Structure 1
Amino acid sequence: MIVLGYWNLRGYAQPIRLLLEYLQVEYKDKLYHENGEEWFNTDKQELKTNFPNLPYLIDGDVVVTESIVIPIYLAKKFKKYELIGQNNDGSFNQNEIIFLEILSILKDLRDTLNSSARVPSFKQEKDKIFNEKFNVTFEKIKKQLGENKFLLGNLSYIDFYFYEVLKIFKFFYPNLSIFTDYIDRIENIPQIKNYLETKENKIFLLDRMKSLYYY
């Protein structure tokens, strides 16, 4: 069985969980608690890779780390090449470049929100911050989406990543009404809908973030 290791929170592992659920792959969540003792003192030392990090994925003898690399491994393993922008046979497609570009942009967007929300003045200035730091990126993504259902036309991993980014933004900006149809579209994918109803809300509530940020 595949093992996905990460902290006991959503974080960078959540889009990977959505991908695993979409692929209907049996997997185990290995969750590390906040003090990190088990990770730092034991598992990190024993992980069979030169680059131990969280999240990690163990698939038999294969160990994959880094949140950008894990979904690429999974898409190739299960021959779902379209999930990383390639053609159905795994050959090159220009969408493969766009996939990596958008993934990098979304990670920057998420990291910027994460760092901004840890500053005490964020709660009072968050609307200004949104207009100055985030709105231009959302406009670019809106242009990329256009009239399509998904960011590359067909469903790909970046749709799961963008969905999670949007959920985090909705946590900090509850009145934000952007990409609502897109969110509904992701949440109504049968595998994702089942996950949201049976697993996510029992373990990975966004409300657990309240103690870490000025929201």
Structure 2
Amino acid sequence: MGEKPVLGYWKVRGFAHSIRFLLKYLNVEFEDKYYGFSSPPDDYRKEWRETHRPTLQLDFPNIPYWIDGEVRMTESIPILRQIARKYGKELVPSDSSTQWRVEMVESYIVDILISLHRLMYFYNDQLYQDFLKEQLPKFQKLQEFIGDNKWLLGSNLTYLDFLLYETLYQHTVLKADIFQDLPRLTQHISEFEALPAISNYLSSPDFLKGPVITPGAKLKI
């Protein structure tokens, strides 16, 4: 048997937790490699940049990264897709005629998550209020998109539900009642957490509950 695959990322949820949830759901044995932070916080990437990054033979060195045999890749969404294709094909929508919808909603959710992280990095009260005004209508559209579906794209769980869950959860850390008027999104969170493999992971000592963001952010949650 070859070496276990390796997922490398900071010791935060960030852009890697949806990947961790997917791996745990699929029961993939892997090394969850966390990187610590250098001091001072304004250059917390220094140790990673100078010591670890040069040794990994990555085409576009960054984290998260995924090493699985000959696959050595970065970028969180391509990693999520690659793992689903290799270990959980049932989680990859197969209808080519509706692939555009998959790619569209994937990009939509990623933009929402990036906006949240941008708020955390540059946080002030005015940005927070503006953020809520901009984000809540986007979540309303997501709720309408899901409609009566059991999961994001229909009756079957897909890799995008892992991305959606983590995006929703991180917003609840920012504001616990953010989805109080969006019951379908709250339902997605609870139903995802009730999946046996996910429930087991959430209660395991391996699970990293937080923080959400790296030390360089103004809002540390």
Both proteins in one fold, TM over 0.5 = yes
Q: Which moved more, 1:154-163 or 1:108-117?
A: 108-117
Instruction: State the Cα distance separating 1:74 from its structure 2 match.
Output: 1.1
Instruction: State the Cα distance separating 1:67 from its structure 2 match.
Output: 0.6
Greater helix proportion: 1
Structure 1 residues 4 and 63, CA gap change in structure 2 (3 angstroms): same
Q: Is the 8 A contact 2:211 2:220 kept in 1?
A: no
**Secondary structure class of the residue paired with 2:7:** strand
Among residues 156, 171, 187, which one is paired with 2:193 in the alignment? 187
1:91-110 → structure 2 map (5 Å cutoff): 92-94=96-98, 96-110=99-113
Q: 1:132-160 deviations in whole A, cap 9, x for unaligned?
A: x1122112111110001111111111111
Larger RCO (alpha carbons 8 Å, 6+ apart):
2
CA distance in structure 1 between the partners assigned to 2:127 and 2:61 by the alignment: 37
Consecutive unaligned residues of structure 1, counting only runs of 5 or more, are: none
CA distance in structure 1 between the partners assigned to 2:198 and 2:190 by the alignment: 11
1:146 alignment partner AA: G
CA distance in structure 2 between the partners assigned to 1:107 and 1:60 by the alignment: 27
Question: Hey, what does 1:205 align to over in structure 2?
Answer: 210
Question: Hey, what does 2:32 align to over in structure 1?
Answer: 29
**Secondary structure class of the residue paired with 2:66:** strand
Q: TM-score, normalised by structure 2?
A: 0.83
The total of aligned residue pairs comes to 206
Q: TM-score, normalised by structure 1?
A: 0.85
Instruction: State the Cα distance separating 1:117 from its structure 2 match.
Output: 3.4
CA distance in structure 2 between the partners assigned to 1:113 and 1:208 by the alignment: 10
CA RMSD of aligned residues (A): 2.3
Structure 1 residues 56 and 214, CA gap change in structure 2 (3 angstroms): closer
Structure 1 residues 63 and 98, CA gap change in structure 2 (3 angstroms): same
**Secondary structure class of the residue paired with 2:76:** coil
CA distance in structure 2 between the partners assigned to 1:93 and 1:42 by the alignment: 46
Question: Hey, what does 2:72 align to over in structure 1?
Answer: 63
Instruction: State the Cα distance separating 1:125 from its structure 2 match.
Output: 6.2
**Deviation >4 Å, runs of 4+:** 207-211
1:127-146 → structure 2 map (5 Å cutoff): 127-131=129-133, 133-146=134-147
Q: Which moved more, 1:100-109 or 1:38-47?
A: 38-47
Question: Hey, what does 2:42 align to over in structure 1?
Answer: none
Q: Which moved more, 1:20-29 or 1:36-45?
A: 36-45
1:98 alignment partner AA: R
Does residue 1:84 correspond to 2:86, yes or no? no
Q: What is the aligned-residue identity percentage?
A: 33
Instruction: State the Cα distance separating 1:126 from its structure 2 match.
Output: 3.3
CA distance in structure 2 between the partners assigned to 1:169 and 1:118 by the alignment: 14
CA distance in structure 2 between the partners assigned to 1:15 and 1:170 by the alignment: 15
